[in-house]
Amino acid sequence: MPKREIIEGKPVLLVIDIQENDFRDEGVPSAIRTMPGYLDHVSRTRELVDVAHEAGVPIVFVKEVHRPDHVDFGRELDGSEDVHCIETNPATDYAKAMDPRPTDYFIAKRRYSCFFGTDLEILLKGLGADTLVLTCGLTDVCGHYTFVDGHQRDYFCRVVEDCVAGSSLRAHDGALEAMEYLQAGARRSLEETKAAFRAHAGGRPIAAAG
Amino acid sequence: MPKREIIEGKPVLLVIDIQENDFRDEGVPSAIRTMPGYLDHVSRTRELVDVAHEAGVPIVFVKEVHRPDHVDFGRELDGSEDVHCIETNPATDYAKAMDPRPTDYFIAKRRYSCFFGTDLEILLKGLGADTLVLTCGLTDVCGHYTFVDGHQRDYFCRVVEDCVAGSSLRAHDGALEAMEYLQAGARRSLEETKAAFRAHAGGRPIAAAG
Amino acid sequence: MPKREIIEGKPVLLVIDIQENDFRDEGVPSAIRTMPGYLDHVSRTRELVDVAHEAGVPIVFVKEVHRPDHVDFGRELDGSEDVHCIETNPATDYAKAMDPRPTDYFIAKRRYSCFFGTDLEILLKGLGADTLVLTCGLTDVCGHYTFVDGHQRDYFCRVVEDCVAGSSLRAHDGALEAMEYLQAGARRSLEETKAAFRAHAGGRPIAAAG
Amino acid sequence: MPKREIIEGKPVLLVIDIQENDFRDEGVPSAIRTMPGYLDHVSRTRELVDVAHEAGVPIVFVKEVHRPDHVDFGRELDGSEDVHCIETNPATDYAKAMDPRPTDYFIAKRRYSCFFGTDLEILLKGLGADTLVLTCGLTDVCGHYTFVDGHQRDYFCRVVEDCVAGSSLRAHDGALEAMEYLQAGARRSLEETKAAFRAHAGGRPIAAAG
């Protein structure tokens, strides 16, 4: 097997489930348990978004949403998560701290994998994407399962491990190891990913900021 | 084979691609060709929506949308259709004439079939749907291909033939015949469908109007 | 829009539902009604298979199959078709008259679209396919709905109209028109398709016959 | 949330990737690394198969297969696994030690999730399945990702933890914890699952052995 580069072909950055509720202290216990340092990890995604904006790497912001009558939760309330991400709640929106711009792409999903019941693959085909670079609110749920679905659809998949955080440290570590099992070199640092985005931009015109 | 009723199990009404642009005269040639009487046909859907609202039959409004940079058109511009349904254009929104209400369901799609790249099946499972009743802007495109995908997923599918209109009369007729080929009794009139919705409501509490 | 060639990028030939039962007179009424000249049309596919074999165009043979206990028929018996294609019946196999070879590809399906519940898209990605060339037992069912699903997945789709036959002449014609609506130039003759396969082969080594 | 039973509604047993190669010592290093005790774990699945046969619980045997020209491996060779499960190799077949019978169901897959590119969901709808009971060759790959896909499709999912084995003990444990995160009570013992199958059979006629 040939050694793989951090970016093979054309990259796309996926920013998954980093939503307003991550940045709001509403004085109530969260519906979803997270590991220590959660907010530091996901906040660092902003650095990568900035470089992607500069380098012209397409960004897809994905948010989880559920309808107010709970009709679309499926089995999601049978486990560790309580009611979450009701779409009429402003805290469910894409996190402003990530600087989403009108020229970026936006997808709402109702399950863990960003591919499940969404138009993500339509968009990725339109963009000609080859490599998916993932940052995510929960490493071991939406991050892991989006990676698997991207992998099964033949994309090169990378996870920026400084920018993701799990439901527990143990679950976070286990998910990163599972991704590395699927694709050697999947785990990447924020610094090397930023460098790769910049090098990628060197080969073509830098997109104007939105 | 047992004879099938117009409604088997639990019904859901799908109102497909009846959008504001159908009701606006913008003085420019349409991006999509339609048969004579198009607007009369799709407008009649409102009668069915009213009965569904009264009878507590869930309604899913579906609209076609495309991003302003055309990234998601795929092969849709290789045939008879020109650029259409740009999502930032107010004329792309659900038609107000159909009386969509906050308690109804809404799905945006980027392809012809309402199942393709959308959360429709998630929603239908949540609703416990068994029978899909279709009305549609283009009988032979979004109507036909949504019927086929519903059929392939084991739903009982019905098309209300007074309420749909095609890209031409010939294409409209051909699509209705193709649906009837797949499920005997698929083609239904507005009057018998209204009666079936009312009879269905008789068996359980009438939902309060939204 | 740029004018499209008969073959854009890399072609793959799909031979759909041309099965042994098409070539056997079992003295019983067929489970599925077909148009006059049915066998002449589908038999002509062999010419295209021969050229594809010579020219190194990958061929995917697809057959419809159902389990003997009928568990997977879904709604397929609610319409015009009777029980068909039981997988334990030798007449359900790929038609020998089409000269399928071990180096060709084979996919069994349980619904009309070749994409539905099969690994066709996995295979097409592996082959790097861009253009799907279709021949088919029923123009208006498996042919039409496979075309639509290929179209929705952004493939260039072509139908070889001398080599397909429908459930009736009217349904056959209607389906061909519907395909042409989706992609201008979709309808192609056997002669021009053979010529295109040969020209395509000119650009690269001719594959050894299997 | 209501407390869930081990079997909700109608159960189906999925026996995933327990193939002849698990039971053959071919004197060569395996293409896929496994945890200590691997064969003991997967072999125990036979006890559950026997009870399912007696109790009339439908069994679906799933095997992973790849074509001899490797066209369908996608990204599967970019990670920890070497070439595996070539479909023309007799060792790729369903393990005879599991007593597969003609009245059971059989599905071949090319990716990790049993739902990906297969007709599994068609079959499950036909069977009216509500609860999926999983045993599997690799807990953390095909087991975990099939569980996730079943979960996302609203099935109740259970994993029989005595009967599954992972690529390492750590990965095995992590995957079981991830499944329990998704559905409380997902992890079940062989003994309680056998008892549940027997109790389920009590409510309806015992199927004749195939």
Question: What is the DSSP code (8-state) at residue B143?
Answer: I
CB–CB of C190/C48 below 8 Å?
A: yes
Between B125, B153, B154, which is nearest D154 by CB? B125
SS3 A132: strand
Q: In which element (H, E) is residue B61 found?
A: strand B59-64
Give a three-class secondary structure readout of chain D: CCCCCCCCCCEEEEEECCEHHHHCCCCCCCCCCCCCCHHHHHHCHHHHHHHHHHHCCCEEEEEECECCCCCCCCCCCCCCCCCCCECCCHHHCECHHHCCCCCCEEEEECCCCCCCCCCHHHHHHHHCCCEEEEEECCHHHHHHHHHHHHHHCCCEEEEEHHHCCCCCHHHHHHHHHHHHHHCCCCEECHHHHHHHHHHHHHCCCCCCCC
SS3 C14: strand
Where does residue C58 rank: exposed (0-12), middle (13-18), buried (19+ CB within 10 A)? buried
Tokens of A107: 């997808």
- Residue C126 one-letter amino acid: G
Query: Angle at the Cα of D32 (from D30 to D38), degrees rounded to 5?
Result: 85
- Is the pLDDT at B132 greater than 80? The verdict is yes
| Closest chain B C-alpha to D58 CA, distance in angstroms | 20
Q: D122 and C111 in contact by Cβ < 8 A?
A: yes
Neighbours of D81 (CB within 10 A): 19
Between D67, D73, D126, which is nearest C71 by CB? D126
Confidence tier at B24 by pLDDT (50, 70, 90): confident
> So what's the pLDDT on residue C89?
94
- Is the pLDDT at D205 greater than 70? The verdict is no
> So what's the pLDDT on residue B209?
37
| Chain Cα centroid distance, residue C190 | 14
Tokens of D203: 């409510």
- Is the pLDDT at B125 greater than 70? The verdict is yes
Question: What is the DSSP code (8-state) at residue C2?
Answer: P
User: Nearest Cα to C13, choosing from C157, C168, C145?
Assistant: C157
**CA pair distance A150, A113, nearest whole angstrom:** 9
- Is the pLDDT at B64 greater than 60? The verdict is yes
Q: Are strands B131-136 and D187-188 parallel, antiparallel or unpaired?
A: unpaired
Nearest CA in chain D to C115: D117
> So what's the pLDDT on residue D203?
64
ipTM of this complex prediction, to 2 decimal places: 0.94
What does each C-alpha distance from A142 to A8, A12, A113, A186 come to in angstroms? 23, 17, 6, 16
CB–CB of C115/C157 below 8 Å?
A: no
Q: What is the mean pLDDT of residues A42-66?
A: 97
Contact residues, chain A to chain B, C-beta under 8 Å:
67, 69, 71-74, 103, 105, 109-111, 117-123, 125-127
Q: D119 and C110 in contact by Cβ < 8 A?
A: yes
Rg (CA), chain C: 16
Among A21-35, A158-172, B87-101, the least confident range = A21-35
Q: B67 and A127 in contact by Cβ < 8 A?
A: no
> So what's the pLDDT on residue C125?
98
**CA pair distance D160, D200, nearest whole angstrom:** 17
Nearest CA in chain C to A151: C122
Report how far apart the first and last C-alpha atoms of chain B are (Å, whole number).
39
* Tally of residues, chain B: 210
| Chain Cα centroid distance, residue D96 | 15
> So what's the pLDDT on residue D209?
37
Q: What is the mean pLDDT of residues A54-66?
A: 97
| Chain Cα centroid distance, residue D121 | 15
User: Nearest Cα to B154, choosing from A135, D180, C31, D123?
Assistant: D123
Task: Give the model confidence (pLDDT) of D54-78 as tens digits.
Answer: 999 999 999 999 999 999 999 999 9
| Average pLDDT score, chain D | 93
User: Nearest Cα to C109, choosing from C59, C61, C60, C63?
Assistant: C63
Strand partners, B158: B133
Q: Are strands C11-16 and B187-188 parallel, antiparallel or unpaired?
A: unpaired
Interface test with B, best of A119, A120, A123, A125 (most B CBs within 10 A): A119
Query: Is the Cα torsion angle A156, A161, A166, A171 positive or negative in sign?
Result: positive
Interface test with B, best of D120, D151, D154, D155 (most B CBs within 10 A): D154
Residues 6 or more apart whose Cβ sits within 8 Å of residue D166: D34, D35, D138, D139, D140, D141, D143, D172, D173, D175
- Is the pLDDT at D1 greater than 70? The verdict is no
Q: B72 and A111 in contact by Cβ < 8 A?
A: no
Q: B110 and A117 in contact by Cβ < 8 A?
A: no
> So what's the pLDDT on residue A79?
93
**CA pair distance C38, B18, nearest whole angstrom:** 39
**CA pair distance B143, B29, nearest whole angstrom:** 23
Residue keyed to tokens 């019946």: C89
Q: D170 and A177 in contact by Cβ < 8 A?
A: yes
**CA pair distance A149, A113, nearest whole angstrom:** 7
> So what's the pLDDT on residue B210?
35
Q: C152 and B113 in contact by Cβ < 8 A?
A: yes
Among B47-61, D11-25, D27-41, the least confident range = D27-41
Give the pLDDT means over successive 10-residue stretches in chain C (210 positions).
87 96 70 89 97 98 97 95 93 96 98 98 98 96 98 98 96 98 97 97 53
Q: In which element (H, E) is residue C61 found?
A: strand C59-64
Strand partners, D158: D133
- Is the pLDDT at D208 greater than 50? The verdict is no
Task: Give the model confidence (pLDDT) of C11-53 as tens digits.
Answer: 999 999 999 989 886 545 567 889 999 999 999 999 999 999 9
Rg (CA), chain A: 16
For residue D114, the chain C residues in CB contact (below 8 A) are none
Q: Are strands A105-109 and A11-16 parallel, antiparallel or unpaired?
A: unpaired
Q: D181 and A167 in contact by Cβ < 8 A?
A: yes
